Each structure stands twice: as C-alpha cells, then as structure tokens.
Chains A and B, each alone.
Chain A
C-alpha cells in the first residue's frame, strides 16, 4: 500500500531563517506531487506541483521554492522566511491526472516568529 510522509510535524522558525520541508511517498512510482499551504481557518492554497523529477510548476509567486530530486521526494524550501509564511503545509500525491483522488500527508505546522 502507498504511504506519504512529511517532516517535521511542527516547526517554529524566526523571520529571515531558511526552511526545508520534506515529503516522501512509498509504494508507488511516478506520482504527481503537490504542496499546499493552509492559513488558520482558511482553505488550501496550491503552491507547487510536479509531474516528474526536476519538473516543478509554481502557482503562487512568493519566497518559496520546490524541488523534486527523486521520483518520490518533494522538498519545499525558502531562503528567508516571512511572518506570512506561517501555516499548515500539506504534501499530497496522485496518480495520473485530475480525476483520481489525492492522498495527503500528515502536514507540517510552521510558525514564523
């Protein structure tokens, strides 16, 4: 069966510090991978998606970046965090295209102080 991991589960970082969040998927090959952010009490905002190694599509211009160095690894990064980067970050995977359901990881709660 497939599983998706995210770490860390929680993170408290000062403004201006770097960020690296990691997501890995097990039990499947060539998944489509997604990063979402959810502000408190809000819906999910699509940040990035990837259809293959090294292929990243950005949905929202901001100080975040994503990379996919391996087939089942997706990394979200920032060189300098802003207060507005606080939120709940979710990684998800899906096979093929948009008719299939997405499977979400447990999420990372990021607080920028």
Chain B
C-alpha cells in the first residue's frame, strides 16, 4: 500500500479557501486517491475520490497532477464547521484501507 504524507495541522479563517496537499510517491497505476473528513467523536466520512486531473463535488475539489505523486484537497470558503481532521488515502483494489495521521484543520472566526 502506498504511504501518504500530509501536514499535521493547518489553520485558516472563515471564508478562505483551504488547500491540503498529500504526497503519495509510490502510488500504483490502478490506485485512486481518496479523502475522508472526521469530526471529534465521530467516524470518518468520505469526501471525494479521484484518479487524475480534477474532480469536483458539492463539498470539495480534488486536484491530481499528471504524475499522480501528490494530490490537493481544496475546500472553498471554509466555515467554523469545517474544523476537522482530513485524511488522504490511496485506495487500492484490495480489502485493506490504511488511514494515516491526517491533517487537523482549525478554522477561526
């Protein structure tokens, strides 16, 4: 399974765009990049998944360069309720899923 590296923590202010970058240098051809969000005392929930270029949904955008060795989760105009831990995962075709330490995003008023 490809290892991921992401910043331990980030601070932002309400209304700003937040970009969290994840590196996954050993990503394999068939792997996808997946992001989850976790609030305190809750289980993680899926945010977005992509293979290459750009994916956008109602919550976030995911940018993946051509070499796929990194990815960036973009949260537009964050609010206080976006304060959470964000996990970057490499999804393989196997049964196991490995969550790293994640990035703690703290949004200030």
Contact = CB atoms under 8 A, between A and B. Distances in A.
Interface of A: 32, 34, 36, 42-46, 49, 51, 57, 59, 88, 90, 92, 94, 97-99, 101-107, 109
Contact of B101 (A43, A99, A102, A104): A43
B62 to A, nearest CB: 14
B2 to A, nearest CB: 12
Contacts of B44: 44, 102, 104
Contacts of A107: 41-43
Given A43-B100, A43-B101, A46-B98, A97 B93 contact: yes
A9 to B, nearest CB: 10
Interface residues of B, number: 24
Main secondary structure of the interface of B (DSSP, over half): loop
A31 B42 CA distance: 21
Interface in B47-101: 49, 85, 87, 91-101
Contact of B97 (A42, A88, A102, A106): A102
Main secondary structure of the interface of A (DSSP, over half): strand
Contact of A102 (B32, B41, B46, B94): B46
B3 interface: no
Contacts of B87: 43-44
A92 B43 contact: yes
Contact of A32 (B32, B95, B101): B95
A2 B42 CA distance: 17
A102 B89 CA distance: 12
